[in-house]
Each structure stands twice: as C-alpha cells, then as structure tokens.
C-alpha cells in the first residue's frame, strides 16, 4: 500500500499571471488596505475617546470596525506582498491558520451586522423601551454570543478541512486559503465534507440575510407612522447599514450558498468581502450616518480647537 505524504506548503496562483496587472493591483489594494486600517481605526478612537459606548449603536459599530481590521489583516497583507513575489507560497500550517481566522472574523461580522439590525429595529419600533431592552448587560451578552458563534463556525470549518489528506498537487487557484479551493486539492472524496461545509457557511449567510431582510421590512413599515424628521433620521442610519449589508452579503451568498464548486469569477467576487467591504464600512457609516458624522465633528473638532 502506497504511503500518502501530506504536502508541507501550498502555492497560490493569485489574482493574475500578468505582471502589468499585478503591479496595478499592488498599488490599488495597498491603498484600499491603508484606507481600511485608518478609517476603521478612526471610528474605534472616536468611540473610545468620546466615551460613546453608552449607545448600543456605537458599541457594536466599534466592534464592527475592530473585526474589519482583523478580517482584512488576515488576508490583505499576504495577498499584497504576493502580487510582487515570484513564488506565492504559504505553509500548510499558515494556510490552516488563514482559513480559520478568515472564517472566524467573517462569520463574526455577519453576526454583528445582524445584531446591529436588531438594535435599529428596537430603536425605531420600540423607542420607549429601547434603553431597557438594549441595556449594557444585554449588549455584552449579545457580543459574547457573537464571538462564541464565530469561533464554533470557524472551528468546524478547520476541523473538517484539516483532517483531509493533501498529497499533491499543491497549487491553490486563489489568493488566500478558502474552503472550496483547498478542498479541490484533497487526495480523497470530499463530497460529504463539501456538503457539510456548504450547509454550515450557507446557513449563517442565508440566516443572517433573512433576519436582516425581516428587520428592515418591519422598520420601513413602521416609519410610515413617524414624522418626516423622524423618518429622515431613521433612513439615514438604516441606509448606511443596508449599504454595508448589500455589499457584504451579496458576494458571500454567491461564494458559500452553493455546492462544492469553484468558478473563475470567485477571486474577483472574494475581493469585495475581503478587501473592499472593510474599506467601505467606515466611509459609509461616516458619510451616510448623520449621528456618527456629528459625533466625529464634535470630538475631533474640539481636539483640533484645543490644540490651536
């Protein structure tokens, strides 16, 4: 019986094999990643320095920015450096590490966005009971559940993939270690594993999307009973959230709500939820959300005024 020797490293094929395209991508994605880090860090500092944790919206927005920084940092730095590298290799352990943390922070973001939708539902539909329902203990419990849910999801993904034998080839047709491209390299039948992983990821993506859809449907219906000023403020806050949800859930649904197959478009679609969404989140929340924008103006405007 032939002994199966597991590979010790994988090689990424990357976004493109064209040197000119990779140079352009290096500049563009370096810019995107820098904007993502600075923008999300600005939101975190605004919430922390301004002591805005008392508001559940700011409380969850702060952690969303933290998750965005972590999520993009698991993938973007390696992808950016690989754009100029001749050999885009990653160790087996590093690949499993990237797979675990990308799914951990990705699923955590889904849970966070869903929780933020519930927060907006309570704030708009039950304003008199908002402070009672969304008190600090409730927010902390929700946050703990979000972290636990993300950990269980990513641990299951890792456990199912790590137990598979990989004896070659070792070329991953992607720019990071994701479930579907890695499964294609396993030296065994992965049909059952692929179904389980698809159900796991698909349930989270679809479940979160359905809850968000129901929440915002109820919110939009309830806005008809409010004043014009109340509708404007609510739509300003919810509009930014809906933009984030659309940009994030659209590509995620395309990637994970399907059987264990890969398409040539996967790498381009993955760019949206791994690189672009973490960059757009702070821009959308500051440019479309009047409350966040005013909080930044008050806090940082005061800081600069005192400095002068």
**Which pLDDT tens digit goes with each residue over 142-191?**
999 999 999 999 999 999 999 998 987 889 988 999 888 898 899 888 88
Better pLDDT: 90 or 126: 90
Q: What is the predicted pLDDT for the residue at 284?
A: 77
Residue 300 has pLDDT above 80, yes or no: no
Predicted pLDDT of residue 120: 83
| Whole-prediction pTM | 0.87
Report the distance separating Cα 249 and Cα 237, nearest Å: 19
pLDDT above 80 (res 35): yes
Domains (range + CATH), the chain: 9-301 (1.20.1070.10)
Q: What is the pLDDT of residue 2?
A: 43
| Rounded-to-integer distance, Cα 286 and Cα 18, Å | 37
Confidence grade of residue 273 (pLDDT, cut at 50, 70, 90): confident
How does pLDDT run across 134-148, given as a tens digit for each residue? Answer: 998 999 999 999 999
Instruction: State the pLDDT at residue 269.
Output: 83
pLDDT band at 241 (very low <50, low <70, confident <90, very high): confident
In angstroms, the CA 88 to CA 97 distance is 16
In this predicted structure, the answer to whether residue 9 has a pLDDT above a threshold of 60 is: yes
86-93: Cβ within 8 A, 24+ apart:
87/11, 88/11, 88/12, 88/13, 88/14, 88/175, 89/9, 89/10, 89/11, 89/12, 90/9, 90/10, 90/11, 90/12, 90/177, 91/8, 91/9, 91/10, 92/6, 92/7, 92/8, 92/9, 92/10, 92/166
- 167 close to 6: Cβ distance less than 8 angstroms: yes
Give pLDDT, residue 1.
Answer: 36
């Amino acid at each position: 019986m032939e002994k199966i020797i597991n590979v010790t490293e994988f090689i990424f094929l990357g976004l493109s094999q064209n040197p000119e395209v990779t140079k352009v991508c290096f500049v563009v994605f370096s810019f995107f990643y820098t904007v993502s880090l600075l923008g999300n860090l600005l939101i975190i500092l605004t919430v922390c320095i301004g002591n805005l944790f008392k508001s559940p919206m700011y409380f969850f927005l702060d952690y969303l920015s933290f998750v965005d920084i972590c999520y993009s940092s698991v993938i973007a730095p390696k992808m950016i450096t690989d754009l100029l590298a001749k050999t885009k290799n990653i160790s087996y352990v590093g690949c499993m590490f990237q797979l675990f943390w990308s799914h951990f922070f990705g699923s955590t973001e889904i849970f966070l966005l869903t929780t933020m939708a519930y927060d907006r539902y309570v704030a708009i539909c039950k304003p008199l009971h908002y402070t009672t329902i969304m008190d600090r203990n409730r927010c902390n419990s929700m946050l703990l559940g979000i972290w636990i849910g993300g950990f269980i999801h990513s641990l299951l993904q890792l456990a199912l993939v790590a137990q598979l034998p990989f004896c070659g080839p070792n070329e991953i047709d992607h720019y990071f270690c994701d479930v579907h491209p890695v499964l294609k390299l396993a030296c065994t039948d992965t049909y059952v594993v692929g179904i389980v992983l698809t159900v796991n990821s698909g349930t989270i993506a679809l479940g979160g999307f359905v809850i968000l859809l129901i929440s915002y449907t109820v919110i939009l219906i309830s806005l008809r009973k409010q004043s014009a000023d109340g509708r404007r403020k609510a739509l300003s806050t919810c509009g930014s959230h809906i933009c984030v949800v659309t940009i994030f859930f659209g590509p995620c649904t395309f990637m994970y709500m399907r059987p264990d197959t890969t398409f040539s478009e996967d790498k381009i679609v993955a760019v949206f939820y791994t690189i672009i969404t973490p960059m757009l989140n702070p821009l959308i929340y500051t440019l479309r959300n009047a409350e966040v924008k005013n909080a930044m103006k008050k806090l940082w405007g005061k800081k600069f005024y005192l400095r002068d």
